[in-house]
Structure 1
């Protein structure tokens, strides 16, 4: 049976490469996972590294949603005003 956390938040996959095979499994040990073969070990390693990144790894480098909200609102208003001018 799938743990409650996996059912609510989704699986937390960890990706690894073994030769030309990339494998993934849920770190909560619920049994979810799989594998995929690539043409080279370098490709498998590259994809495993790319997929294994977490959003929290670069938390300080990305602006929070609320920090971007005024910019998004200004852009939306500008588009709306430009749309009225063209009509």
Structure 2
């Protein structure tokens, strides 16, 4: 799929028993699975990998594309101190 080639896969993670599974949300066919010793381990890793870090976008913004957002956040934090 062209979008996955250009933007990378959008992996989604889930757990079924002791197996953690992942697949591309764009349905390009990419995916896999890994077994863990306990179901709680599989669930913990699936939950950790399935996070989207959109709420931290301005705090951890890349230096190139979102640098103005990082500067704006720093100025706002400075005003509130």
Fold conserved (TM > 0.5)?
yes
Show the counterpart of 2:31.
33
**More helix, by proportion:** 1
Show the counterpart of 2:56.
59
Show the counterpart of 1:20.
18
User: How much has 1:61 moved relative to structure 2?
Assistant: 7.2
Alignment root-mean-square deviation, CA: 2.1
Give the direction of change, closer, same or farther, for the CA distance of 1:61–1:49 in structure 2 (3 Å limit). farther
- Structure 1 runs, 4 residues or longer, greater than 3 Å off: none
SS in 2 for 1:59: coil
Does residue 1:42 correspond to 2:40, yes or no? Answer: yes
**Which of 3, 6, 10 pairs up with 1:5?**
3
Q: Which runs of 5+ in 2 are unaligned?
A: 75-81
TM-score of the aligned structures, taking structure 1 as reference length: 0.66
Q: Which runs of 5+ in 1 are unaligned?
A: 72-87
User: How much has 1:54 moved relative to structure 2?
Assistant: 1.3
TM-score of the aligned structures, taking structure 2 as reference length: 0.71
